[in-house]
Structure 1
Amino acid sequence: MKLLVLLSRFPYPLDKGDKLRAFHQLRHLAREHTVCLFALTDEPVSAEARAQVAPLCAGGLHVHPLNKPGIGLNMGLGLLRGWPFQVGYFYDAAAARQIEALVGSFAPDALYCQLIRMAEYARPFAARLPLTIDYMDVFSTGMARRAAKAPRWQRPVFELEAHRLRQYEAACFGWFRHHTIISDQDRQLIDHEDRQRIQVVANGIDTDFFRPGAVAADEPYDLVFCGNMAYHPNVEAAEWLALEILPAVRRQHPQARLLLAGTTPAARVLALRSEQVSVSGWMPDIRTAYASARVFVAPMRTGTGLQNKLLEAMAMGRPCVTTPLANNALHATPGQHVLVGQNTEELARHVSSLLAQPAEAAGLGASGRDFVREHYNWQATTERLARLLSA
């Protein structure tokens, strides 16, 4: 099958969840199908990144840069059309013309687009091609949760964006023959009467790459949290961890130290640096962050989707502590695969218990690794996607 794939970001390096999901799906789809990739980018794409992706694109690799003046204009035009900012930001008329030309020259048998950001590019071909959209997670719910916690002066903007996203997620449903999403929890949040038609295609984890002992730790820490540190739910989680949970842990473990690891840390994350809290920024190999700490903590309060950071930490054999919001998508058994807490007191108690009982912590880490090996396999999840694309 000849497959045209549309992405809102170039899928390498693997520093954001949508890029990681796209890269691994491409890697497996390319084994059986001829893939032509069209990817937008709002940042430079290195030769190394192209070299990682090009072998997966036997049908062609096309990268369309978005510049800041153009993005501003496109967002303004999108606003006039009633689009969410998430859609307007990524819609560029020149890119649409290029995709039209690709459909003519490549003649795909099917088109697959990731995220509602790319839905407008696929929309014109609804009568000509079988279209599949990967919602991945639910932007509208993430924005609504952010609005609820935003300063009062920002709240109307976030609430309007959440409303438009909700409407757009429902409206674009009808343009596509097939629909996928990362978890059942997210599927239930799509405001459409036929949402049960959306197929759950979970993420996977490379348990050969992410494994205990794969790398040496740079420096010992007690707690670690990883992720894109410019992403608002991660920023919020980092603040909760550093300002409330860690101090509660230090009442029992006065020497406890925290590492916040991940790309592009926001100013709010950088401000958390102290003798007890380190902020790494980009790391060439994120496995060293997981290997550095005794406990991985993901105190997610907002956001949607499946937390790849949890899959990676569990695959590395780290004992993990998280919140119900994150575990509802993961479906791990609390007390067996992860420890789950709803508030500062519960999360701190779990962390303190693991720090005080190394044998129990090791057992939880081993059980967590077994869980992700059994339930999160890229080949199995992408085979499910491939069957859908071929239907």
Structure 2
Amino acid sequence: MSRNRPRALVLTPRFPYPVVGGDRLRIHEICKSLADEYSLTLLSLCETEEEMNGGLVTDALFDKIECVMLPRYRSYLNVMLSIPTRIPLQIAYYQSSVFAKRARVLAEEHDICVAHLIRAGHYIKEMKHIPTILEMTDAISLNYKRVRSVRSLSLKALIYRYEFDRLHKYETDAISQFSLVNFTSAEDARFLCGNEIPSHVKVTPNGVNTIDLNFVNRVNCKNVGVFIGNMNTVQNMDACIHFIEDIMPNLREDDLAEFRVVGRISDSGRAKLCGYERVTVTGEVPSIPEVVADAKFGICSVRLGAGIQNKVLEYMALGLPVVTSRVGYEGLAAREGSDLLVASEPAEFANMVRRLAEDPLLYEALGRNGRAYVEQNHNWEANLAPFVAGVREVRGTNSEQLNVCSDRLQAS
């Protein structure tokens, strides 16, 4: 570990490698942005021996990595024990006394502490001797609130409804307990803070890798709509079922020949989606650009969820004109009708897909403008610069306060 730079301790509730999925990508980019100024130590909970052994690490971003095993059965037991308490299940699932002890010891050796998500934030929220930064990303309770409005009897949906009240209170109360809090979108920040967002709360939108996600002119592609996402989440599965059952019946085969679902999915989820006509499921793939190379447009029919939908940014980077729901549009500064199409109702959503299939001028303009939008507005380094400046500021403020306390003690 370098002694010429200040030291940052990063706590994650899940091992951040491989860098796949929105949460892991975001914390990885945040750590990259901090690595120019700080020597980074990672303290992470792990579920598998492969994670514990560090075999999934693909770079030298962290100078030191420590792992604490938290097997899934232990997490389930934590949840069961928390039911009669006020502790949110999200917090209980990731509780570990061993992890808590290591966090306290390592915090004494570092200059700042960064927690990824509220799940790790509870380990450091009461530390006063060191600046504490919470990379909150989304307001999870906002997602849970939206689940309440959708009729679903799935186990996860029922848990979300049960969990909302205590998680919302926990998240709201937590905001004031950190030196700095970071969100992906203003909608999430306002949901927990109200219209007056405190000065220590930052909003830094996600970026997108426009180098690996190459722009492709798709005017001559067949009418294939793609949906990219982890299908093991409630919000993505709901989005696909919603599109298939409520929107696709309004589309002829000439408008939409195939609805292609790309991303990690369970066997039962695959079987369910493949039971519908005009639906194909790829599962997890090594290269998204290759799998969507022949696609015509990107679909984001999400009704649940919170924060920025990375899939929308990926579609735009790839030159896929986007039709999105209002929830999928949150957190973006893109122009409706020029950079992407935004629908509020199933019939409107279907009409917009039909417009893309029938209007080549609109189609080409959306593909071109969408790519320009992400190039101009979703560069990771540029978007995270205010966050890095905020970390620098709270560290400086904390150092000044500690010096004042030290001077007072010496004077007495």
TM-score by length of 1: 0.90
Structure 2 Cα separation of the partners of residues 307 and 43 of structure 1 = 28
The aligned runs of 1:360-375 (5 Å cut-off) are 360-375=362-377
1:93 matches 2:97? yes
1:260 matches 2:261? yes
The aligned runs of 1:23-62 (5 Å cut-off) are 23-43=28-48, 45=50, 50-53=56-59, 55-58=60-63, 60-62=64-66
Aligned residue in 2 for 1:123 = 125
Cα RMSD of the aligned pairs, angstroms, is: 2.4
Aligned residue in 2 for 1:136 = 137
Map Cα deviations across residues 50-76 of structure 1 (whole Å, 9 max, x no partner): 3324x0002x11222321221122223
State the AA in 2 paired with 1:67: P
The runs of 5 or more residues in structure 1 that have no matched partner are: none
Aligned residue in 1 for 2:397 = none
| 226-235 vs 189-198, which moves further | 189-198
Structure 2 residue matching 1:212: 3-state secondary structure: coil
For the 8 Å contact 1:6–1:37, the answer to whether it is kept is: yes
For the 8 Å contact 2:17–2:57, the answer to whether it is kept is: no
Structure 2 residue matching 1:329: 3-state secondary structure: coil
Structure 1 residue matching 2:330: 3-state secondary structure: helix
Aligned residue in 2 for 1:208 = 211
Identity %: 27
For the 8 Å contact 1:249–1:256, the answer to whether it is kept is: no
Structure 1 residue matching 2:172: 3-state secondary structure: helix
For the 8 Å contact 1:170–1:192, the answer to whether it is kept is: no
Aligned residue in 2 for 1:222 = 224
Structure 1 Cα separation of the partners of residues 165 and 196 of structure 2 = 19
Q: Residue 10 of structure 1: which of 3, 8, 15 is its match?
A: 15
- Deviation of the 1:360 alpha carbon: 2.7
The aligned runs of 1:332-347 (5 Å cut-off) are 332-347=334-349
| 40-49 vs 16-25, which moves further | 40-49
Map Cα deviations across residues 250-294 of structure 1 (whole Å, 9 max, x no partner): 2653x6111101113473453121451111111112222332310
- Check 1:124–1:76 CA distance in 2 against 1; reply closer, same or farther (3 A cut): farther
State the AA in 1 paired with 2:141: S
1:292 matches 2:294? yes
- Check 1:314–1:151 CA distance in 2 against 1; reply closer, same or farther (3 A cut): closer
| 292-301 vs 38-47, which moves further | 38-47
For the 8 Å contact 2:235–2:303, the answer to whether it is kept is: yes
- Check 1:193–1:321 CA distance in 2 against 1; reply closer, same or farther (3 A cut): closer
Structure 2 residue matching 1:149: 3-state secondary structure: coil
- Deviation of the 1:356 alpha carbon: 2.2
State the AA in 1 paired with 2:37: E
For the 8 Å contact 1:184–1:200, the answer to whether it is kept is: yes
Structure 2 residue matching 1:51: 3-state secondary structure: coil
Structure 2 Cα separation of the partners of residues 191 and 69 of structure 1 = 35
- Deviation of the 1:128 alpha carbon: 1.1
TM-score by length of 2: 0.86
For the 8 Å contact 2:190–2:196, the answer to whether it is kept is: no
| 292-301 vs 41-50, which moves further | 41-50
Q: Residue 184 of structure 1: which of 183, 186, 193 is its match?
A: 186
Structure 1 residue matching 2:26: 3-state secondary structure: helix
- Deviation of the 1:135 alpha carbon: 1.7
Structure 2 Cα separation of the partners of residues 158 and 366 of structure 1 = 39
- Deviation of the 1:225 alpha carbon: 0.3
The aligned runs of 1:296-307 (5 Å cut-off) are 296-307=298-309
Map Cα deviations across residues 356-375 of structure 1 (whole Å, 9 max, x no partner): 23343122111001001111
